[in-house]
Amino acid sequence: MHIEGQPGSEPDDESRETPTGPSRYVFTPPTAPSGIEFKRVRRVAGGAVPVSPPEKRKSRRRILIPAAGLVAVLVISVGLLGEQGRQAKNHLQTAAGLFIQLQQQVLNTDVGAARGTLAALQTETRAAHDATDGFGWRAAGHLPVVGDDLRAVATVSAALDDLAVNGLPALLDVTAGLDPSNLVAERGRVDLAAFSRAAPRIASGLEVIRRVQRSVAGIRADGLVPQLGTAVTQLADGLAKAERLAETADRAARLLPTMLGSNGPRTYLVLFQNNAEVRATGGMPGAYIVIGADAGAIQLLDQSTASDLGIFETPALKLAENIEALYTERPAIFPADVNLSPDFPTAALLAQTMYQKRTGVRVDGVMATDPIALSYLLRVTGAVKVPGGESLTSENAVRMLLSEVYFRYNPAGQNAYFADAAYAVFLALLNGQGDPKGIVTELSRAAGERRLLVWSADQREEAILTGTVLAGRMPDDGAANPTVGVFLNDGSGAKLDYYLTHAAALSVGGCAQEGSRELHLRLTVGSTAPARGLPEWVTGLALSGDPYTSRTNVMVFSPTGGAIISVTLDGKPQDFGAGFERNRGVGVITVDLPPGESKTFDIAIEIGIPAAASQAIKPRLWTTPGVRPWLTTVTSGAKCA
């Protein structure tokens, strides 16, 4: 499963609408080596001067390694060491095309063809390494002006050869062994032995990637010929992406066997979040199922709704004072409110405790998903029949589960339909309905949008999950990557959040004299709800005072150690609640939205890390997964003078 370690991806400095799934890589056939032109450079006192203007080329996104970086490395090889330089150029140029070809074959799971391409690739990287590893090249590496460039080419050639010979074979073996089509030995059973066999090979490949990373990180890119410096930077970025992918595979290989019962039976509580009544992690927990796993065999043990667990007269767990100050005791009293906090491990522990108190069964973990994620799976499984109701398809699942059900059924019928729908989709997956590769793809998409969350009661397993998007916990902040969270909780006691719209623009502000830094958030929340015609099950308790006016409690989380400084609406200062959670300042804004209206807030946020002033800032933004995608913009900031 392709699940990167951090949510979404590092944002570019451009507007984008949060996609309905993770971005897909598009590959185009590489041009023949003879069709690639290189810019010759000549040295003068001021540096390298181009003889002819460089040809602009469209960058391509890579999965295993950025082949464009290989091609750019060749620029400084031409003419530097005569025949050796030309040999290195030719071999690395050919390797660039082979890397692209290998990536496409891996994507298509054409393992046989990929093995042949890998063999050819190893020949080219070995030859390039040999051409840049002789005495003459090493000696020239000590020359003034050109020496650093020559050393960089030699380092890159050696690193890529190490990757091709020692790293990629292991990862290719894993690709073959973990083909989703081969993992299901029989209906309802996952082949855990495949993961056990793959684990050491993944660990080996990951170590090679990290070794190559350390080698490339030792190159001072800012002192090289510009084209070479850019290539080295691209190579470092590509290796970082490759490490995240390999690390994800490594975690999965270590985690899945034990979580699926290789060392004894396991049970898991699976919550289905109702996004029509928004909660910080996505939606109000509605229906749930309990599944069991034993030696890879999976079965359904229980199903019901959160309302059937009832209200707890006293808190199921004692909440920390700062948590209770933000959310009152509601998360520990009402099963439908366990996820008022955006921290999924907190919500999961509350859900586990409540289920145990009501049933006497202590589950080994808690998972959560939502109707949007179910609609992704239905693209692969096809329609599933819901007893006593309309069949669910990828086209109607979101509308049926978050809107139509309230027009067709009373509350008891709604709960029954939710539970039956969850069971029907689970049963389709359990019976092997749909292509396994497609199921893995859609699960990865849901995880990337944080619509699939996992918590384990086993501390060792939870430690492996920590840092991934599955964990549902905001990432630790560094000075260069402060994270801001915007999370929503319904305040209407209704199902009006089906009509909610939202946009957020995050940018880096100026520098304060004491070394702190500010972030600026422009947040817009709107409602597309009709002004009449909704059933009472949708308008609900109407806590806003008007049945068609939605009330949303917007929670803005600062980076670690930071604070919410101010909130303005149309240029006028606004009062807001304040608190803190997990060492982050939290500002709470209550927003009432009549049908068709929207409100835009400007929020100043202190980063709180003094070192942030001394380097460029590339912030990150987390948001509550909604029925509709967020429109987001994240803009980086240069370091302070």
Residue 461 and residue 482 in one domain: no
Q: Please indicate, yes or no, whether residues 400 and 544 belong to a single structural domain of this protein.
A: no
Whether 417 maps to a domain, the answer reads: yes
Q: Clarify whether residues 402 and 337 are in a common domain.
A: yes
Report the distance separating Cα 337 and Cα 340, nearest Å: 6
Higher pLDDT, 325 or 54: 325
pLDDT at 187: 63
pLDDT recorded at residue 177: 67
258-273 pLDDT, tens digit each: 999 999 999 999 999 9
Question: Binning pLDDT at 50, 70 and 90, where does residue 457 land?
Answer: very high
Structural domain ending residue among the three candidates 257, 287, 310? 257
Q: Which of 193, 223, 257 is the last residue of a domain?
A: 257
- DSSP-assigned states of every residue in 448-487: HTT-SEEEESSHHHHHHHTTSGGG--PPPP-TT--EEEEE
As for how many domains the chain has, the answer is 3
Do 303 and 279 fall into the same domain? yes
Greater model confidence, 626 or 422 = 626
Last-in-domain residue among 465, 495, 510: 465
Tens of pLDDT along 504-555? Answer: 999 998 776 666 689 999 999 999 999 999 999 999 999 999 999 999 999 9
**Is 4 a member of any domain?**
no
Is 641 contained in some domain? Answer: no
The token pair that represents 601 in the structure block: 């807030």
One domain, residues 226 and 353: no
Residues 202 and 272 occupy one common structural domain = no
Looking at residue 29, its pLDDT comes to: 30
Owning domain of residue 441: 266-465
Q: Per-residue pLDDT for 142 more than 70?
A: yes
More confident residue, 47 or 298: 298
What is each CA distance from 613 to 423, 510, 511, 621, 635, in whole angstroms? Answer: 52, 9, 7, 19, 16
502 falls within a domain: yes
Tell me, yes or no, whether 247 and 272 share the same domain: no
Each residue's pLDDT tens digit, 398-412:
999 999 999 999 888
Q: Is residue 346 part of a domain?
A: yes
Angle at 219 between CA 217 and CA 221, to 5 degrees: 105
10 part of a folded domain: no
pLDDT of residue 40: 35
Residues 493 and 344 occupy one common structural domain: no
d(C-alpha 576, C-alpha 590), whole Å = 8
Chain Cα centroid distance, residue 173: 25
Report percent pLDDT > 70 for the chain: 83
Residues 325 and 391 in one domain: yes
- Residue 429 pLDDT: 85
Domain membership flag for residue 313: yes
Q: How confident is the model at residue 350 (pLDDT cuts 50, 70, 90)?
A: very high
Whether the Cβ atoms of residue 135 and residue 95 lie closer than 8 Å to each other: no
Chain Cα centroid distance, residue 571: 35
Q: What's residue 612's pLDDT?
A: 62
Q: State percent of the chain over pLDDT 90.
A: 49
pTM of the predicted model as reported, rounded to 2 decimal places: 0.80
Amino acid making up residue 46:
G
Please check whether residue 121 lies inside any domain of the structure. yes
Could you tell me the CATH number of the domain that includes residue 324? 3.40.630
Residues 38 and 149 occupy one common structural domain: yes
